[in-house]
């Protein structure tokens, strides 16, 4: 059934054994939009199943023109819950819930495994390497950027380049530390003006202040996508960090921390950090923000454990793993095609 395909993906032979709720397909090469085979009919059936399972999709409201069905059109702000994901959490996760600070009990061990598996799903989905760390934070993009800033150990205030669509939640932390925030111009087609960015880096590198590019991968107004690989390579050419806000883009496109590019012999296209809110995905209500950061920019050895001190968002993280798995089962390619169909 679709719930097993999308949520569990792997069934243990023994019901009482510790179970995992996902399984990865084997790829001869890293998965991307060209080497993933998508069955159009199967994809159509899964999309229909997902739509049928959106909680509240059949709700209506009393309007001046009578009782009307609600058509939800604000997925850029937040996704909506899915029945089969919530049922899995209710039937499988919550009955075995325990603290992840210990693995001495059956419940705590199972919950820890669920959470680790959720992290692994996301790690594989964004193609993070062994040099990258997945950090969950429950306080929005501002919290993610604050953690990045704290981990950089900046001696002097940095120079931060941003785009015109940058959300205030990702700008506030930089302004609070006294960073010089510079907005990069747009081209006529609405994309980032890389020539303007390069001219500024050439001009400002003599100041010997850390330069950082903190850009949105997509505009939440126009939906235009930025060439993240090209901009990242340009930033690294001048020893600037490349931080990417995928909040708008992540539910719909491939998010690639370490792209494989044939002419990138110096590995300039790897991103230093990416962050986005899983609650913007369908099924992602009450899921945390997370970010991926390369460990060479961190001051802690075991970043994933120490940055998530205290009681972490356990169930929320597990839900986030299932939401990301749903996206990868549908494939970014099929999601993009569906977006084009809906916008015609």
Q: Mind giving me the DSSP string for 220-236?
A: TTT-PBP-HHHHHHHHH
CA 246 – CA 243 distance, rounded (Å): 10
CATH 3.40.640.10 intervals, the chain: 130-323
3-class DSSP state for residue 276? Answer: strand
Find the DSSP H helices in the chain: 2-3, 40-52, 83-88, 106-125, 140-152, 168-176, 194-204, 228-237, 303-306, 314-330, 332-343
Nearest to 216, CA basis, from 281, 295, 145, 316: 145
**Averaged pLDDT of the chain:** 82
pLDDT, mean of residues 194-200: 97
Q: Could you read off the pLDDT of 275-305 as tens digits, one per residue? A: 988 999 999 998 887 777 766 544 434 555 5
By percentage, how much of the chain surpasses pLDDT 90?
50
Cβ–Cβ under 8 Å, residues 53 and 84: yes
Per-residue pLDDT at 51: 93
Cβ–Cβ under 8 Å, residues 10 and 23: yes
Burial of residue 187, with CB atoms counted within 10 A of its CB: 0-12 exposed, 13-18 middle, 19 or more buried = exposed
φ/ψ of residue 199, rounded to 5: -60, -35
Per-residue pLDDT at 4: 35
CA pseudo-torsion sign 114, 116, 117, 122? positive
Q: Is the pTM of this model over 0.85?
A: no
Cβ–Cβ under 8 Å, residues 276 and 245: yes
CA 207 – CA 212 distance, rounded (Å): 13
pLDDT, mean of residues 38-54: 87
Check pLDDT > 90 for residue 42: no
Q: Could you read off the pLDDT of 118-147 as tens digits, one per residue? A: 999 999 999 998 888 888 886 667 778 888
SS3 sequence, 120-141? HHHHHHCCCCCCEEEEEECCHH
Partner residues linked to 116 by β-bridges: none
Which structure tokens are listed for 297?
């920019």
CA 149 – CA 146 distance, rounded (Å): 5
Cβ–Cβ under 8 Å, residues 337 and 295: no
Per-residue pLDDT at 192: 94
Which of residues 20 and 41 earns the better pLDDT score? 41
φ/ψ of residue 229, rounded to 5: -65, -45
C-alpha count within 13 angstroms, C-beta hemisphere, residue 131 = 9
Check pLDDT > 80 for residue 156: yes
- Top-level CATH class of 130-323? alpha beta
Which of residues 36 and 150 earns the better pLDDT score? 150
- Residues written for the chain: 344
CA 71 – CA 81 distance, rounded (Å): 15
């Amino acid at each position: 059934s679709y719930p097993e395909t999308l949520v569990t993906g792997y069934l243990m032979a023994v019901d009482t054994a510790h179970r995992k709720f996902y399984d990865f397909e084997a790829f001869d090469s890293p998965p991307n939009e060209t080497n993933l085979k998508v069955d159009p009919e199967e994809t159509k059936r899964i999309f229909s199943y997902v739509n049928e399972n959106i909680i509240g999709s059949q709700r209506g409201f009393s309007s001046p023109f009578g009782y009307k069905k609600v058509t939800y059109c604000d997925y850029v702000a937040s996704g909506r819950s899915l029945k089969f994901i919530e049922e899995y959490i209710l039937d499988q996760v919550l009955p075995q819930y325990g603290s992840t600070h210990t693995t001495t009990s059956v419940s705590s061990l199972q919950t820890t495994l669920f959470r680790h598996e959720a992290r692994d799903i996301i790690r594989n989905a964004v193609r993070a390497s062994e040099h990258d760390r997945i950090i969950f934070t429950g306080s929005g993009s501002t919290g993610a950027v604050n953690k990045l800033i704290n981990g950089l150990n900046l001696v002097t205030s940095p120079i931060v380049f941003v785009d015109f669509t940058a959300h205030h939640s990702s700008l506030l932390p930089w302004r609070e530390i006294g960073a010089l925030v510079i907005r990069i111009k747009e081209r006529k087609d609405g994309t980032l003006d890389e020539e303007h960015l390069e001219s500024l880096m050439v001009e400002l590198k003599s100041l010997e202040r850390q330069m950082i590019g903190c850009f949105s991968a997509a505009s939440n107004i126009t939906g235009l996508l930025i060439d993240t690989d090209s901009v990242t390579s340009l930033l690294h050419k001048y020893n600037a960090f490349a931080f990417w806000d995928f909040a708008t883009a992540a539910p719909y496109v491939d998010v690639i921390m370490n792209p494989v590019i044939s002419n990138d012999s110096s590995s300039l296209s790897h991103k230093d950090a990416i962050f986005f809110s899983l609650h913007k995905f369908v099924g992602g209500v009450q899921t945390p923000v997370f970010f991926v950061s390369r460990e060479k920019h961190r001051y802690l050895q075991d970043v994933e454990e120490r940055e998530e001190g205290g009681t972490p968002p356990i169930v929320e993280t597990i839900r986030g793993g299932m939401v990301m798995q749903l996206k990868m089962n549908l494939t970014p390619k099929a999601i993009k095609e569906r977006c084009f169909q809906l916008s015609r």
